[in-house]
Amino acid sequence: MVADRMNTQVERLYSPYYPAVIRAIHQVVKAAKPYDVSVSICGEVASDFKLIGLWLKMGINKLSMMSSVILRLKHHICHMNTEDVSLDQILQARTREEIIRLLDE
């Protein structure tokens, strides 16, 4: 996923919530698993509180982010229930808005 978030003409195209982005990441995780290859997420997407449960549910356990976010995210992870995240529903979602709604439930 590449979009210049600072360019006002294309910043609307940047969103980690697009179904194609979520599905692509899931496919990479599934393809890596049989070979015991870990998948890491880095940057803003790694520290997105809405997405963290999804990453954990997919089996992603390496996250790289700004150090200023680590303690808050660690607290969030310790108090969350990944059972609340329906991976199947999210992977079947057709729109960015539907994914956001499912993650907010």
Tens-place pLDDT, residues 13-64: 788 999 999 999 999 999 999 999 999 999 889 999 999 999 999 999 899 9
Q: Considering only residues 51 and 4, tell me which one the structure prediction assigns the higher pLDDT.
A: 51
In a domain, 37, yes or no: yes
In a domain, 59, yes or no: yes
Question: Residue 45 domain-assigned?
Answer: yes
Domain annotation covers residue 11: no
Asked if residue 29 is part of any domain, the answer here is yes
Instruction: Measure Cα distances from 64 to 29, 42, 44, 73, 86 in Å.
Output: 16, 4, 9, 11, 24
**pTM of the full structure:** 0.85
Number of domains into which the chain is organized: 1
Phi, psi of 31 (to 5 degrees): -70, -30
The verdict on residue 67 lying in a domain is yes
Mean pLDDT, rounded, for 77-89: 88
Q: Which domain holds residue 66?
A: 16-104
In a domain, 4, yes or no: no
